[in-house]
Structure 1
Amino acid sequence: MRLGSREVGYPHLLAAALLVAMLVGVGVGAGTSSSTYGAFNAAWDGGSGIRGVASDAGAETQVVYNTTEYETVDPAGTVAFVISPERGYTDAEAARIESFVRAGGTVVVADDFRPHGNDLLARLGASARIDRTPLRDDRHQYRAGALPVATRVAADPLTRNVTRLTLNHPATVTANESTVLVRSSNFSYLDRDDDGELDDAETLQSYPVVTAERLGAGDVVVVSDPSVFINAMLDRPDNRAFAAALAADRQTVVLDFSHAEERPPLQVALRALRGSAGLQLLFGGLVVGAVALVARRGRLS
């Protein structure tokens, strides 16, 4: 087979096809994530669906890997999601988020049984805390008592078009000075011994699972189940509507993965390239050099 001025055999074409397939596979792997709640994880436990919710709301999604990036957005037009952080925030990192909120931003802290969500809330100066005791509801539930349906929803812009939330092994929120937006039904209980059933020492009552609190000119929203925002749960009633209400009327949706352990290498590399003029010049020089080398080899052959 002739390609231009060169004779190309089928073994060469097969090798080229395998190389392209390998590069595509590496590129896809480097650009995606298997991390639970990850913004680039399209599997059932990923959080890629939130980017779709933001797009449907007309907002731009900005995935951040450093809290300094909070300083690049307009707080009044931005909601930031902090979903089950895997390590704690320093005072300086929390101060940047606090400044963002006090200037008019909204931050959604969604956590259940890890300690870092509560640590961040304390550093922000918010009063709500996540009670890390499992919540069950054997009457209002999706498939099992460990997946309770919270049926009591307050009328608020942050719960627009929401009549219930479907939870997945949730905790609860101790509201303190915050406003309760969503509560479980009166048939829910705290499974303090984690045995999966209602015992004599456990009582049926309603518990807060979503709260909101004013902080300066902005709001801190606390959700005691980060699973509300994973791909497999977004289409359960009314989780997508809740995410859409949080993103409504925003120009930017920030997904804060500054405290997630796994980051897609390609995404990190692209962000580094966009943020460094020196790297852009180096990359441009390499591309020009590669093109020149290929052109020179073509002339010689």
Structure 2
Amino acid sequence: MRRAVYAIMIAFGIFILVMPLSVPVFYTSADFSLFNTGWNGASSFGKLLYEEADVIPVITPFNSFGIGERTGTLLILGPDLGYSSAEIEEVKRFLDNGGTLVLIDDFGTGNDILKGLNVTARFSGLQPLDVFYSKNYNFPELVRITDPQLGVGVDKLILNVPSVIVGAEGSIYTSKVAILGNNPRQLPVMSELSYGNGKIILFSDPSVFINDMFDRNEPFIRNFAGYIKSDVVYVDEAHHSNFNPYAMGTVVIRRSFDRMKAFYVILGVAVLAIIVESGLALEGAKRFLNLLLGKILKEEGKSLDEVVEELKKEGYDEKILRKIVKEMKTGKKLGG
């Protein structure tokens, strides 16, 4: 009978290790949101980030969230709501603490932060024209990626109605004949700046990361997710004007079998079996009861027989109690 009990305990412990987890999630139709699974969302990009780091959405203003007290990476993707001076001050503190700001924007409100940080780089807010494109000029193709980590396995990067960066050097460029205004020249699409103890990574086309573009740009997006990773990535959802979660649900996560944890389960049950079968558990219980009886007798001055009668009324076994009393009187070791 006891063997069956131990087997059940082992089976239950292993079941706990491998049982699926249900994690609550919510959905939204906001452009560029990591919670939007539609064509204009960035849920596929979000899944890659979850593989690389702990991802924490920020759905309140930065000063309410206290981003300045934290470290890691702050990802801002396609913002269209303005940033207050208090929020920008929090971003400054975040960078001074060694954090990384990843700001991906084209025609939105990203320049609010750059102005507040007093850096020279800006998103141009204008779409460049390039002779190298996919489908039409709204989808320029880039091949000049100077950072080797970002360029691994990437034949080309397809943009989607992009802006460019002015006032900074870049690590990804348009072709040399791209036009912004009247002058054909290569223009940076991605730049990296040092700021305080941290750094700022700028990318001028959030549409690269939407689900509709994921298949065409997956190698680059994977490289980018690895490039910006840290222990924690904070994702700004508070500055998407239409971020209104419309549904709640759960996602089921299936866990793989962990041999080491299963070994600990079996070991724990084995130790418990040894304690029970050797009588150590009963011995410990008797010692505890012995001490308890001694304390009661000492404090209240009751006889052993009186204590036994009281405990008997509370449901204790009289035979066991009498045996303990006898051993106490004779000085015999419990369990002998």
Q: TM-score range by the shorter chain?
A: 0.5 to 0.7
Which residue of 1 is the match for residue 160 of structure 2? 168
Give 1:129 deviation, angstroms.
0.3
Match of 2:67 in 1: 71
| Deviation, structure 1 residue 206 | 0.9
Quote the sequence identity (%): 26
Identify if the C-alpha distance between structure 1 residues 97 and 130 changes in structure 2 by more than 3 Å, giving closer, same or farther: same
| Aligned partners of 2:48 and 2:222 also within 8 Å | no
Query: Residue 102 of structure 2 contacts residue 202 of structure 2 at CA under 8 Å; is this kept in 1?
Result: yes
- Is the Cα contact below 8 Å between 1:160 and 1:241 reproduced in 2? no
Please give the root-mean-square deviation of Cα atoms over the aligned residues, in Å.
2.7
Superposition deviation, residue 84 in structure 1: 2.2
Q: Is the Cα–Cα contact under 8 Å of residues 194 and 200 in structure 2 kept in the other structure?
A: yes
SS in 2 for 1:41: coil
CA displacement at 1:63 relative to structure 2: 0.6
**In 1: Cα distance, 2:66 partner to 2:144 partner:** 33
- Tell me the TM-score normalized by structure 2: 0.60
Q: Which residue of 1 aligns with 2:125?
A: 132
Q: Distance in 2 between matches of 1:170 and 1:242?
A: 20
2-structure distance, mates of 1:267, 1:251: 29
Q: Which has the higher helix share?
A: 2
The 5-angstrom pairing of residues 90-169 of structure 1 reads 90-114=84-108, 116-139=109-132, 141-155=133-147, 159=150, 161=152, 163=154, 164-169=156-161
Spell out the pairing of 1:266-281 with structure 2 (5 A cutoff): none
Aligned to 2:77: 83
Equivalent of 1:186, from 159, 176, 199? Answer: 176
Which amino acid is the alignment partner of residue 185 of structure 1? S
Which residue identity lines up with residue 186 of structure 1 in the other structure?
K
AA of the residue aligned to 1:69 = F
Deviating more after overlay: 231-240 vs 127-136: 231-240
Report Cα offsets for 1:222-261 as digits up to 9, x if no partner. 111111221122332343134323333x111211012222
Name the aligned partner's letter for residue 213 of structure 1.
Answer: L
1:239 partner amino acid:
F
Unmatched 5+ residue regions in structure 1? 1-27, 193-201, 269-301
1:54 corresponds in structure 2 to 49
1:45 aligns with 2:37: no
User: In structure 2, do the counterparts of structure 1 residues 171 and 265 end up closer, same or farther at CA, with 3 Å as the change threshold?
Assistant: closer
User: Structure 1 length normalisation: TM-score?
Assistant: 0.66
Task: List structure 1 segments (4+ residues) > 6 angstroms apart after TM superposition.
Answer: none
Q: Which has the larger radius of gyration?
A: 2
- Structure 2 residue 161 is the aligned partner of structure 1 residue 220: no
**CA distance in 2 between partners of 1:252 and 1:106 (Å):** 11
Q: Is the 8 A contact 1:152 1:182 kept in 2?
A: yes
Query: How has the CA–CA distance of structure 1 residues 73 and 166 changed in structure 2, closer, same or farther, with 3 Å as cutoff?
Result: farther
